Amino acid sequence: MKKIILLLVFSSFSTAMMACDICGCGIGNNYIGILPDFTKHILGLRYRYNSLQTHLGEGGVPTYLTTSERYKTIELWSGWNIGEKFRIMASVPYSYNERSSQGINRFKQGIGDVNLSGYYELINTRKPVNSKLLVQSLWAGGSIKLPTGSYNPADKSGSTQSNNLFQLGTASIDYTLSAMYDLRLQDVGMNITANYKINTANKYHYTYGNKFGVNAQSYYKFRIRKHIMVAPNAGVQFEQSAKDIDDKISVDVSGGNLLLGTLGVETAYRKIAIGANWQTPLSQNLAMGFVKARDRFMLHISFIL
């Protein structure tokens, strides 16, 4: 395999907007780190863990009403290349959600929202620079999220002082615009991605806030023997969400911004790639301080077909 690993974070925007897209007052975990390159078809599994605290008191202080929420998702995803410039991707999540408050535990599990996406390669250049190879690429595209996950309106409080996070899906059709720029000199590179998610109202007249996200990270590829690649990576990610709208009324406990530090490693051997990354909040202001995001974790295995 000529190129085992390439930083293609643009495909993170094809990630299904499941419960983890909702938790954190609409600040979604759509980051997936480094993906293996492929010429035709790829199939993979991702496991995500995301946790947060809700119903915090003034100044983010825990109270007897404070709730701990944990979101665990296994996601089946696949990608197909069409010619040299087009790529389509799809993902199907299965989520297990847990909420603990005042000694009472609640659980939800099931299929989340399926996501379909397409991308076009605008720039792809390769040229030698001082005996090293300089590679640039720019992809742009979009995705559509389908309302396949369960949404229970009874879990949404009628008050605009309560968040609406504990769902498997949003019950709405949503759209994402995205772009990715990657610059690599031989084995060291940097990647910048950006996306904007446009949410629509569901049949219960609830609209999750539109979301903007950008991340930047650096990476280095170590080649061990002939077919083994190890690529550590590190960076930052910023997410910002508008407030939700419930029947034309702004939801006070929603929206906000979050800055995360990311650290990961990817390994590949022939047509199998395994990787993991960890994200930790560096600063945050979610739902006016009444929601606090905690660490996130992702593990994946992919097969190039």
- Which of 9-13, 39-43, 54-58, 235-239 shows the lowest per-residue confidence on average (mean pLDDT)? 9-13
User: What one-letter code names the amino acid at 105?
Assistant: N
Say if residue 90 is exposed, middle or buried (CB neighbours under 10 Å; 0-12, 13-18, 19+): middle
Local confidence band at 1 (pLDDT 50, 70, 90 cut-offs)? very low
Q: What pLDDT score was predicted for residue 20?
A: 44
Give pLDDT, residue 37.
Answer: 58
pLDDT digits (tens, 9 = 90+) for 226-280: 889 899 999 999 999 999 999 899 988 889 999 999 999 989 888 898 999 999 9
Task: Show me where the domains of the chain are located.
Answer: 5-304
Q: Which residue spans within 243-305 are E strands per DSSP?
A: 245-246, 249-250, 256-269, 272-286, 292-304
Mean pLDDT of 126-130: 91
Q: How do residues 72-125 score in pLDDT, each as one tens digit?
A: 999 999 989 898 899 999 999 999 999 888 888 989 999 999 999 999 999 999
- Average pLDDT in the chain: 84
Weakest-pLDDT range from 13-17, 54-58, 248-252: 13-17
Average pLDDT over residues 39-52: 88
- 238 phi and psi angles, rounded to 5 deg: -120, 135
Per-residue tokens: 197: 């998610």
Interval 51-66 mean pLDDT: 78
Q: Of the given ranges (26-35, 54-63, 64-73, 184-193), which has the lowest mean pLDDT?
A: 26-35
pLDDT, residue 288, reads: 85
Q: What is the pLDDT of residue 260?
A: 95
Work out the number of other CB atoms within 10 angstroms of the CB of residue 105.
9
Superfamily of domain 5-304: Autotransporter beta-domain (2.40.128.130)
Is the pLDDT reported for residue 10 higher than 60? Answer: no
